[in-house]
Amino acid sequence: MSRIEVESEITGNVWKIELKVGDKVEAEDVIMILESMKMEIPVEAPSAGTIVEILVKEEDSVEEDQILAIIES
Partner 1 sequence: MKAAVLREANKPMEIEEVQISKPGPREVMVRPIAAGVCHSDLHFMDGSYPYMLPTILGHESAGIVEEVGKDVTYVKKGDSVITCLSAFCGHCNHCLTGHLSRCNSPEVSRKPEEEARISKAGSQIHQFLNLSSFAELMLIHEHALVKVREDMPMDRAALIGCSTTTGVGAVFHTAKVEPGSTVAVLGCGGVGLAAINGAAIAGAGRIIAVDMVDSKLDLAKAVGATDVVNASSGEAVGQIIEMTQGGCDYTFEAIGLKATAEQAFQMLAPGGTATIIGMIPVGTMVELHGVDFLSEKKIQGSNMGSNRFRVDMPRFVDFYLNGKLHLDQMISKHIKLEQVNDALEALKSGQEARHIIMFD
CA distance 25 to 40: 20
Q: Pick between residue 41 and residue 52 the one whose CB is nearest to partner 1.
A: 41
- DSSP bridge partners of 16: 33
Check residue 27 for interaction with partner 1 (CB under 8 A). no
- Which of 1, 20, 22, 38 touches partner 1 (CB under 8 A)? 38
Instruction: Give all strands of the β-sheet with 67-72 in edge-to-edge order.
Output: 3-7, 67-72, 49-54, 24-25
Check residue 57 for interaction with partner 1 (CB under 8 A). no
Interface residues with partner 1 (CB under 8 A) are: 9-10, 12-13, 15-16, 30, 33, 35-42, 44, 58-59
